[in-house]
Structure 1
Amino acid sequence: MTLENKLGITDSSELARIEEEISKKKAIEIFEKNNILEDEIGKFASLSKIHEILFSEIYNFAGKLREVNIAKGNFRFAPLMYLENSIKYIDKMPQSTYDEIIEKYVEMNIAHPFREGNGRSMRIWLDLILKKELGKVIDWSKIDKEDYLLAMERSPIRDIEIKFVLKNALTDKINDRDIYMKGIDASYYYEGYNVYKTSEIKNY
Structure 2
Amino acid sequence: MVIENKLGIKDSLELARIEEKMTKERAKEIFDENLLLEKTVGSFETLAFIHYHLFQDLYDFAGRIREVTISKGGFRFAPVLYLPQSLASIDQMPQETFDQILEKYVEMNVAHPFREGNGRSMRIWLDHILKHQLRQVVDWSQVGKEDYLLAMERSPIRDIEIKHVLKAALTSYVDNASLYMKGIDHSYAYEGYSLFRTEDL
TM-score by length of 1: 0.91
Q: Give, in whole Å, the separation in 2 of the partners of 1:26 and 1:39.
A: 17
Deviation of 1:188 (Å): 1.3
Deviation of 1:151 (Å): 0.2
SS in 2 for 1:38: coil
1:31 is matched with 31
Contact 1:120 1:183 in 2 (8 A): no
1:188 is matched with 189
TM-score by length of 2: 0.92
Contact 2:120 2:188 in 1 (8 A): no
How many residue pairs end up in the alignment? 192
SS in 1 for 2:184: coil
Deviation of 1:187 (Å): 4.5
Q: Give the alignment's Cα RMSD to 1 decimal.
A: 1.3
Q: Give, in whole Å, the separation in 1 of the partners of 2:188 and 2:175.
A: 23
1:174 is matched with 174
With over 3 angstroms needed to count, the CA separation of the structure-2 counterparts of 1:79 and 1:182, relative to structure 1, is farther
Counterparts of 1:64-79 in structure 2 under 5 Å? 64-79=64-79
Q: Deviations over 1:121-174 (max 9, x none)?
A: 000000000000000000000011100000000000000000000000000011
Contact 1:37 1:46 in 2 (8 A): no
Contact 2:90 2:108 in 1 (8 A): yes
Structure 1 unmatched ranges of 5 or more: 193-204
Contact 1:123 1:183 in 2 (8 A): no
2:103 is matched with 103
- Is 1:21 aligned to 2:21, yes or no? yes
Structure 2 unmatched ranges of 5 or more: 194-201
Identity of aligned residues (%): 63
Deviation of 1:37 (Å): 4.9
Q: Give, in whole Å, the separation in 1 of the partners of 2:174 and 2:188.
A: 23
Deviation of 1:182 (Å): 3.2
Code of the aligned partner of 2:72: K
Deviation of 1:178 (Å): 2.4
Code of the aligned partner of 1:141: S
2:7 is matched with 7
